[in-house]
Amino acid sequence: MHTGFSPGRRLTLAAVMIAVAGLLSAPLIADEGMWLFNAPPRKALQQQYQFTPTPEWLDHLQRSSVRFVTDGGSGSFVSADGLILTNQHIGFGEAQALSGEGHDYARNGFYARTRSDEKPCPGMEVNVLVSTEDVTERVNAALPAELSPERASAARRQVIAAIEKESLAQTGLRSNVVPLYQGGAYQLYRYNRYTDVRLVFIPEAQAASFGGDTDNFEYPRYALDICFFRAYENGEPARLEHYLAVDPRGTNENDLVFVSGHPAITQREFTWAQVVDYRDHLLPHWLDLLCRVEVPLSVYSGRGAEPARQARDLLLDIQNSRKLVGGQLAGLLDPSLLHGLQSREQAFQAMLGNEARFTDAHAAYKRIREAQDRISQNQVTYDLIEGSSWRPPYAFKGRLFQIARTLVRAAAEQSKPDGERLPEYQDAHRASLELDLFSDAPIYDEFESMLLTDSLTYLAGSLGAGEPLVASVLGGKSPAERAAELVHGSRLRDMAERRRLYDAGGAALASSPDPLVALAQLVDPAARQARKVNDDQEEVLRQAHAALAQARFALRGLELYPDATSTLRLAYGTVSGYEEQGRPVPAFTDLQGLYDRAAQHRDQPPFDLAPRWAERRGHLDLKTPFDFVCTADITGGNSGSPVVSRAGELVGLIFDGNLQSLVTDYAYTERQARAVAVDVRAVLEALPQVYDAGPLAEELLGHTGTASR
């Protein structure tokens, strides 16, 4: 199995030639790939594992797999009654939102002993992929050659919106057009939506993230990173045809396993120039930024238990991102990996040769380099005042500004034809947008003020306090004064006011005395401009990568998987340990290991045992496997993904990758990179013995519930 991936140092021309030959004969590394369910790696599975997934096997796994729209992440249906298994760190935000003084579910855990105790999660949505359809031709037909990037982008956005709207109208299903192969193909994905989702069980944070930020992205691990939700339809638990049976025997070293989930984003098709830009500019910039954000959050958390509770979700998110970015940067600063990427690119360019049909592909490299440079130069401003859908602009952190911006943009966008709108404001996304906007997740004034004070300070430091936009934003006040005025003067925490402004639209907003609405309006033109610069260059990248993708197809056929795009993928691999600094790291940990590690650290945070785990030690079979690693090719977004056996039965769930796996966003390696999962046997042991949640274990085992397969 472990052929490893150890790209050469400085390559001689001969080595490049060998690599060229190799590219055609041994196209993929061992267990590499995040495969489309409609184009699974049949050949590799057959050759390496003598396994061929049947269409039924694939369909069942696909329809049992769940995507968390609001919080990102993956999960699976695990009972006929709509029970969903995912990670505690996916459910954490919901548990946080359900908490208040006196009942801190995120910290202390929660278990609904009866269905009526299950807690509705306002604003939460999960999706299940029910069908896919290729729409590449229709998208490309809408894009005549020689359009400017801006017009091409608008035209593509328009045709995609039309396809999505049409599909929604026809099927009532959530419909998303997904660009694949860096824009080489487009597929229409249709999802069943579940918007009544309730919290069933979440363990205390100490048990789920034992070892905290210290052990995050590390292995061995001792974390029960699980959480159960239940999907409801019409006020009743959803009745499901497809859900995963649980194999109480779990899995063993060297077993073949599959991971079905929603990897968010990979950059495997990046050119060398792009990877160098990430190494030298973007990742260092993000690492600086994340540290700059993490410190004030830690300081705020240090004020006491209640501030810590308010900040915890964001702090964990930032720490996780910081370790992720740091790990990727460390990976890219390994010259051997960079040389490997460079040689692969040189080899591919050699394969292109001088053939006329590859002229576009050759030219693409220069276009990509130039566009990447422009994106990079724009990035500081972009991160500062525009941000992305999943990351608020760093100059205006906090939930209140996000609400203000959504109101301002919704009014502007909804007056346009659907196809000309920013994607997140198109009709197909309206339901999700409104769920988020009208979520009654609590808003903490002091926390909002701190975030905004720090944001505005960062803005002033980045552009200068005297820069005209900054001066307008600050309005002659210090960041602290201005933040207090914005937070205390805003009525946006009032749901009725939010609804009124949303329904009334543009004119009401323009005349609104709400200082946050006014701020969002003030910043919007510059923010849109930063986004436009970015989007235009992304369009150039898309077109150039499409040219490269076409050349790859011409040379390689369809035996490739596309880069991750937050859509459902199938990965596979072997349950297997690895070596680190000369020492073997075993594939499995067990419950005994948890107690050992806590003792080693004298039970000090973040290695303190949760009180229940300390009390119930005598109830547990300490030989029970706890966490395990496998070589399956995963990334962020795979959190909560079911790990299934050849029989398609649940043996665990992914909750992390190790540090060495972080660089696989750019290039897969399986020498040390591993996906980290909770073993289903730990789940079945802990639920009854630690949490008195025997009925939940019974439901997992199919012994209870209203339906069976």
Measured CA to CA in angstroms, residue 13 lies from 10, 340, 428 at distances of 10, 13, 52
The region of 208-216, 241-249, 633-641, 664-672 touching its own copies under the rule CB under 8 A is 208-216
Determine if 461 is a binding residue for its own copies (CB under 8 A): yes
Determine if 604 is a binding residue for its own copies (CB under 8 A): yes
Helix, strand, or coil (residue 368): helix
Q: Closest separation between CB of residue 661 and its own copies, Å?
A: 16
Spatial distance between the Cα atoms of 31 and 44, rounded to a whole number of angstroms: 8
Tell how far CA 33 is from the center of its chain: 17
Nearest residue (CB) to its own copies, 524 versus 608: 608
Q: Which amino acid is at 672?
A: Q
Q: Closest separation between CB of residue 663 and its own copies, Å?
A: 11
Measured CA to CA in angstroms, residue 98 lies from 82, 115, 440, 520, 604 at distances of 21, 17, 10, 28, 28
Determine if 479 is a binding residue for its own copies (CB under 8 A): yes
Pairing type for strands 185-194 and 126-134 reads antiparallel
Burial class (CB in 10 A: 0-12, 13-18, 19+), 702: middle
Q: Closest separation between CB of residue 279 and its own copies, Å?
A: 6
Nearest residue (CB) to its own copies, 519 versus 560: 519
Determine if 133 is a binding residue for its own copies (CB under 8 A): no
Cβ contacts of 648 within 8 Å, gap of 6 or more: 57, 60, 61, 244, 245, 258
Binds its own copies (CB under 8 A): choice among 120, 464, 525, 611: 464
Nearest residue (CB) to its own copies, 474 versus 546: 474
Nearest residue (CB) to its own copies, 458 versus 628: 458
Spatial distance between the Cα atoms of 403 and 250, rounded to a whole number of angstroms: 45
Contact characters 6-25, its own copies, x per CB under 8 A: ---x----------------
The region of 380-388, 414-422, 498-506, 598-606 touching its own copies under the rule CB under 8 A is 598-606
> If residue 448 lies in a helix (H) or strand (E), which one and from where to where?
helix 445-463
Give 3-state DSSP helix, strand, coil % of the chain, rounded to 5.
50, 15, 35
Q: Closest separation between CB of residue 601 and its own copies, Å?
A: 6
Whether 451 and 487 have beta carbons less than 8 Å apart is answered as: no
Spatial distance between the Cα atoms of 623 and 428, rounded to a whole number of angstroms: 50
Binds its own copies (CB under 8 A): choice among 132, 349, 462, 704: 462
Whether 76 and 64 have beta carbons less than 8 Å apart is answered as: yes
Determine if 322 is a binding residue for its own copies (CB under 8 A): yes
Whether 700 and 648 have beta carbons less than 8 Å apart is answered as: no
Binds its own copies (CB under 8 A): choice among 38, 414, 439, 478: 478
Token pair recorded at residue 479? 């960041």
Determine if 460 is a binding residue for its own copies (CB under 8 A): yes
By rule CB under 8 A, what count of residues binds its own copies? 50
Nearest residue (CB) to its own copies, 227 versus 297: 297
Binds its own copies (CB under 8 A): choice among 29, 480, 508, 707: 480
Whether 489 and 397 have beta carbons less than 8 Å apart is answered as: no
Q: Closest separation between CB of residue 271 and its own copies, Å?
A: 15
Whether 66 and 76 have beta carbons less than 8 Å apart is answered as: yes
Q: Count Cβ atoms below 10 Å from residue 304 Cβ, excluding itself.
A: 9
Place of tokens 């003598």: 50
Binds its own copies (CB under 8 A): choice among 21, 26, 265, 305: 305
Spatial distance between the Cα atoms of 571 and 31, rounded to a whole number of angstroms: 8
Strand partners, 68: 126
Helix, strand, or coil (residue 673): coil
Whether 234 and 307 have beta carbons less than 8 Å apart is answered as: no
Q: Closest separation between CB of residue 2 and its own copies, Å?
A: 21
Spatial distance between the Cα atoms of 514 and 39, rounded to a whole number of angstroms: 51
Nearest residue (CB) to its own copies, 4 versus 22: 4
Q: Closest separation between CB of residue 464 and its own copies, Å?
A: 4
Using alpha carbons only, give the angle 435, 441, 445 rounded to the nearest 5 degrees.
130
Q: Closest separation between CB of residue 465 and its own copies, Å?
A: 6
Binds its own copies (CB under 8 A): choice among 304, 353, 513, 582: 304
Binds its own copies (CB under 8 A): choice among 155, 333, 352, 441: 333
Nearest residue (CB) to its own copies, 336 versus 359: 336
The region of 63-71, 332-340, 399-407, 496-504 touching its own copies under the rule CB under 8 A is 332-340
In this structure, the chain runs to a length of 709
Binds its own copies (CB under 8 A): choice among 3, 46, 214, 388: 214
Determine if 477 is a binding residue for its own copies (CB under 8 A): yes
The region of 175-183, 398-406, 596-604, 621-629 touching its own copies under the rule CB under 8 A is 596-604
Binds its own copies (CB under 8 A): choice among 1, 26, 265, 291: 291
Tell how far CA 352 is from the center of its chain: 34
Binds its own copies (CB under 8 A): choice among 8, 72, 149, 284: 284
The region of 154-162, 209-217, 400-408, 632-640 touching its own copies under the rule CB under 8 A is 209-217
> What radius of gyration, in Å, describes the C-alpha atoms of the chain?
25
Determine if 445 is a binding residue for its own copies (CB under 8 A): no
Determine if 288 is a binding residue for its own copies (CB under 8 A): yes
Cβ contacts of 171 within 8 Å, gap of 6 or more: 190
Determine if 213 is a binding residue for its own copies (CB under 8 A): yes
Pairing type for strands 74-77 and 65-68 reads antiparallel
Q: Closest separation between CB of residue 297 and its own copies, Å?
A: 11
The region of 78-86, 297-305, 511-519, 699-707 touching its own copies under the rule CB under 8 A is 297-305
Determine if 294 is a binding residue for its own copies (CB under 8 A): yes
Interacting residues toward its own copies by CB under 8 A: 9, 212-214, 276, 279-281, 283-285, 287-288, 291-292, 294-295, 298-299, 302-305, 322, 326, 329-330, 333-335, 457-458, 460-462, 464-466, 474, 476-481, 600-602, 604, 606
